[in-house]
A and B are shown apart, each in its own frame.
Chain A
Amino acid sequence: MTETPLIGAPAPEAGSNAALAGARIGVVTFPGTLDDRDAARAVRMAGGTPVQLWHADTSSDVLSDVDAVILPGGFSYGDYLRAGAIARFAPLMSRIIDAANSNAKLPVLGICNGFQMLTESHLLPGSMLKNDHLKFICRDQVLRVENNTTAWTTDFDANQEITVPLKNQDGQYLADDKTLDALEAEGRVVFRYVGFNPNGSRRDIAGIANEAGNVVGLMPHPEHAVETGYGPGSFENSSTSTDGLGFFTSVLNKLVGGTK
């Protein structure tokens, strides 16, 4: 009997640029992860090769095969405790934390629930509360790229405004003033909401980076703005947006050592 494919699993296909396709980006699936296949698609559309990673993998060389890691969106463990609070203790997370802090400075992108895991695991400062209006919100969100030197933002212009979908329940970014002042002073506020703060985040912060700039977390979903007709443009305005692609091309270009 021929093997039945897992329905909806992305077909493995190499990108057209052999150098980029040689870059392997791990996408972690936790129980309750939702946007893992979307993140893998985004990596593929940017020309890289996505690698599925499983949260419970305990092998010591699990990360030796990947050049960067994405923690995708979703509701890991239902978010019944604080969002990301349980996923943070997954065996794979310990490896990721070590690799992100190591000299190699593994690039890590946390999207939505992934961002929440990054704050829970203290790779990034601050925390997330329920949206100030207490409802789930799904909308096309304009962001300003305030730091285009991180591992995930080099393909954007300084202060470029991009539109990507936002969809979350617990997206209100919170930190004490001292931390916020430090983030601002060190240029670690990577994205800010423009025009409308959708969740009450302090200082309109949508995403931040660690000091080295290899770890970036944000609430909006760039992996949902990589394909014309299936992203934000298909809804609230007539322009189509693939603004999210820049996240993935940035890290791929950095990994293959090329410049923009």
Chain B
Amino acid sequence: MSEVSTGSTTEGVSTGSTTGAGSNSGDVSNTGPETVEIAPATAPVDRKFNIDTVDNAEKTPDTDLPWAELGLKDTEYQRVVEILGRRPTAAELAMYSVMWSEHCSYKSSKVHLRQFGDKVTDEMKEHLLVGIGENAGVVDIGEGWAVTFKVESHNHPSFVEPYQGAATGVGGIVRDIISMGARPVAVMDPLRFGAIDHPDTARLVHGIVSGIGGYGNSLGLPNIGGEVVFDSVYQGNPLVNALAVGVLRHEDIRLANASGAGNKVVLFGARTGGDGIGGASVLASESFDATKPSKRPAVQVGDPFAEKVLIECCLELFKAAVVEGIQDLGAAGISCATSELASNGDGGMHVELTKVLLRDPTLTPGEILMSESQERMMAVVTPENMAAFEAIMDKWAVEYSWLGEVTDTGRLIIDWDGETIVDVDPRTVAHEGPVYERPYARPEWLDGVQADSFTGGRPASGNELRDAVLQLMAAPNMASKKWVTDQYDRYVQGNTALAMPDDAGVIRVDEGSGLGVALSTDANGRYSYLSPYEGARLALAESYRNVATSGARPLAVTDCLNFGSPEDPDVMWQFAESVRGLSDACQELGVPVTGGNVSLYNQTGGVAIHPTPVVGVLGVFDDVARRTPSGWREDGQAVYLLGTTADELDGSEWANLQGHLGGLPPKADLDRERQLAEILINASRDGMVDAAHDLSEGGLAAALVESSLRYNTGARVALSEVCDRDGVDPFTLLFSESQGRAIVSVPRSEEIRFTDMCSARSFPTARIGVVDADSGSLEVQGLFTLPLDEVRKVNEEVLPKYFA
């Protein structure tokens, strides 16, 4: 390969084997070695003839284009031709193909997602500063502060290249937060893997966990929670979702739009390379298939140092107020950034693509437009502010290049060395992609599954129950996740008030007042498999309950909807039902969805994952000093169980342990959830409880053990009264996963106040025991005594056994 081709390239239109690096046009005196002539005589080396310009496209309407290879359907390609009134240029085709991919256009999900906007009440709008549609939603938390947060998927890249896939998942969501004008303050990672003992699971767990740690730790963002779930349905499709949260002052909100004709467009951060080319369309929109060639090169490579510098540099730009609009470069790279900035603003932009700084000088214009190189941002700057902008870039040694300017033409025009290679209405690229009403139907198999209730083992004697609790706490999904979370920095920034294994992660926002936020993410794919509508409601219910358990008032929701192929009517029905369930539940609980992400095609060899709607809830504290941890600490405090228990073992962790998945999931009673949340929030604010833990997977048994293990503090509990009240046996009380329940520890001096508050709300409450700090065991009177050392051992040895 010759060295002379600095920045110049050729671009073949219809063939895979193009001319390679061309020589500099017209530069006959270049001093490098002779360019190797690999171009056929019919394709002159001079790039002027190889760049597929708009003029050329008009003159050569019959040229074949590789639209199918780029993931466009026949009808979609015809639509592009119709929009343009001619065939697209190669560069335009690259843009449309990535921007109209499932990942970027939400073409299969859009018709359903509208419900999140339609089912919105005034209560839900009260705190919303920026809703769905921007890089991330923004919520008012009071005192002039706002919070922006969002969860996204990086599932497919993480399966192909676990370390880089997971790392760049963190990087991408953090840039979304920065581009809203916020300082990122925490991350969380909901993860789902295949069976813990499958040979491929260790590869994914090691790569993904170290990728998240390697990237997130280097950014200085505390990792405050998330999930780690093992289930064989995720074997070929692990789910790597990443959530980030940022804080900003109200007046600092930045939106991604390019306004003001004459303002300059600048690309800054890392250089553009060949990584992730086609990632958006190829990886996220097709199912894995063993017959296709390796997709490794399509995964991006992360540079957390570059991102950390970018964060600080962007915050200085915001402080100096020198950017008019800003957009991160994620999926679809420059295609996405230019078309979204232009169409959200005054509607026009004119850029020169040869100005883009390249890591790989052989990239074609189409590749430059599609590249998903990480750690890049695009901004719009007024001419007066250019010098100030450049000074900040120089301070942080961040590279930048001025690409062009905002226009009022309504057209996005991209030139290559002065010749126009893209001339489109940016809205047709960014917002007017195809929308599909995919067929969907309730799966025929569902009746059979729902009729198959759990009838398996029900331990009854004290010894049997004791063994059952040990077995439960040693189950991969119930086991301690310390092995994972100890690889994440939870302290950096000095504002972490709670992190895993507590119910929610809690971050202080204002050091003076103590104003802060709580975050939790939850989903139960098994519940959603049994009933997608109810499963989505249950995911919200649990996440909402977790946030309230920590003492925070739930305020807003973000979601990451992970499903199989939308082209399968069964899957599409699961998706439609999940969206309907989640949007209904949000309305009932009065919390709006502020943004999120849809990940489809999580399907390998025709087998889809369980529907997995990961729901993140954000809550607010007036003072995080009031937060409630999940473990009890003070000897002699009373332990109360809030809520009632029914025989709801279908879909439970206990049934899972017995290899059973059938029946109907627990019922979500959202009025009950709201009441429970009010009690937990008031109790926290007024200092009536010292510990609280929600009941979810593993039921009361898991909650009692976890609250004991948290600070190594035992307890004595008695179940018979509650069993009589609820009409269930001890096994059911311990293992059922009925919703709307929590356990709390109450100081003796607060018991009357606390029980009065519960009875005033007619909320079922039962005193089930006392904290016995020095006993070193959890005693369930009349049934069994479990030494904490014994249960800790089985609980903590699981992950190290498989992964250490």
Contact = CB atoms under 8 A, between A and B. Distances in A.
Contact of A1 (B217, B321, B625, B711): B321
B514 to A, nearest CB: 10
A138 B488 contact: yes
A137 B482 CA distance: 11
B711 A234 contact: no
Interface stretch (A7-15, A172-180, A189-197, A245-253): A7-15
A34 B496 contact: no
A4 B633 contact: no
Contacts of A138: 485-491
Interface stretch (B112-120, B278-286, B311-319, B790-798): B311-319
Interface residues of B, number: 56
Contacts of A136: 210, 213-214, 217, 487-489
B496 A167 contact: no
A1 B508 CA distance: 28
Contacts of B625: 229
Contact of B711 (A35, A139, A224, A238): A238
Contacts of B713: 238
B305 A31 contact: yes
B486 A137 contact: yes
Given A37-B493, A37-B494, A135-B210, A11 B511 contact: yes
Contacts of B305: 31-32, 75, 77-78, 80
A49 to B, nearest CB: 16
A139 B486 contact: yes
Contact of B397 (A31, A80, A169): A31
A237 B316 CA distance: 39
Interface string A135-164: 111110000000000000000000000000
A7 B252 contact: yes
Which among A4, A32, A138 has the greatest number of chain B C-beta atoms within 10 A?
A: A138
Interface in B206-263: 210, 213-214, 217-220, 247-249, 251-252
Nearest to A169: B217
Contacts of B183: 7-8
Contact of B319 (A4, A56, A167): A4
Interface string B486-514: 11111111111111000000001001100
A26 interface: no
B711 A8 contact: no
A136 B305 CA distance: 16
B315 A7 contact: yes
Contacts of B396: 31
SS class, residues of chain A in contact with chain B: loop
A229 B220 CA distance: 19
Contacts, number: 122
B185 to A, nearest CB: 7
B512 A11 contact: yes
B304 A75 contact: yes
A165 interface: yes
A223 B185 contact: no
Contacts of A75: 217-218, 304-305, 308
A32 B218 contact: yes
Contacts of B631: 238
Interface string B696-722: 000000000000000111000000000
A168 to B, nearest CB: 9
B303 interface: yes
A89 interface: no
A41 interface: yes
B252, B308, B320, B492 interface centre (most CB from chain A within 10 Å): B492
Nearest to B483: A135
B247 A234 contact: no
Contact of A230 (B321, B488, B495): B495
A88 interface: no
A230 B499 contact: no
B182 interface: yes
B511 A10 contact: yes
A7 B247 contact: yes
A74 interface: yes
A257 interface: no
Contacts of A224: 491-492, 494
Given A10-B511, A238-B633, A32 B308 contact: yes
Given A32-B309, A137-B487, A235 B499 contact: yes
Interface string B64-98: 00000000000000000000000000000000000
A18 interface: no
Contacts of A167: 217, 489, 491-492
Nearest to B251: A4
Contacts of A11: 511-512
B316 A227 contact: no
A38 interface: yes
Interface string A103-118: 0000000000000000
Nearest to B499: A235
Contact of B712 (A223, A230, A237): A237
Contact of B492 (A1, A34, A235): A34
Most buried by A among B489, B490, B498: B489
A5 interface: yes
Given A77-B305, A135-B210, A230-B508, A237 B318 contact: no
User: Which of B303, B511, B625 has most A Cβ within 10 Å?
Assistant: B511
A254 interface: no
B490 to A, nearest CB: 6
Contacts of B624: 229
Contacts of A139: 486
A6 interface: yes
A223 B220 CA distance: 14
Nearest to B206: A135
Contacts of B304: 75, 78
A188 interface: no
A7 B311 CA distance: 11
Nearest to B185: A8
A221 interface: yes
Contacts of B395: 56
B800 to A, nearest CB: 11
A221 B182 CA distance: 26
Given A7-B249, A31-B305, A137-B486, A227 B319 contact: no
Contacts of A221: 491
B315 A6 contact: yes
B583 to A, nearest CB: 32
A4 B316 CA distance: 10
Contacts of B306: 78
Contacts of A3: 319
A127 to B, nearest CB: 21
A135 B247 contact: no
A238 B502 CA distance: 13
Contacts of A135: 210, 213, 487
A78 B146 CA distance: 30
A45 to B, nearest CB: 10
Nearest to B629: A234
Interface in B574-604: none
Nearest to A76: B305
Given A34-B492, A78-B305, 18 more contacts: A4-B321, A5-B319, A7-B182, A7-B183, A8-B247, A41-B511, A75-B305, A78-B303, A136-B210, A137-B486, A138-B485, A167-B492, A223-B494, A224-B494, A230-B495, A230-B497, A235-B499, A237-B711
8 smallest CB-CB distances across A and B, nearest first, come from: A78-B305, A34-B220, A7-B183, A238-B711, A238-B633, A38-B494, A224-B491, A75-B218
Interface of B: 182-183, 185, 210, 213-214, 217-220, 247-249, 251-252, 303-306, 308-309, 315-316, 318-321, 395-397, 485-499, 508, 511-512, 624-625, 629, 631, 633, 711-713
23 contacts: A4-B319, A7-B318, A8-B315, A38-B494, A41-B511, A75-B218, A75-B304, A79-B218, A136-B210, A136-B213, A136-B217, A136-B487, A136-B489, A137-B487, A165-B491, A224-B491, A224-B494, A230-B494, A230-B496, A231-B491, A234-B498, A238-B631, A238-B633
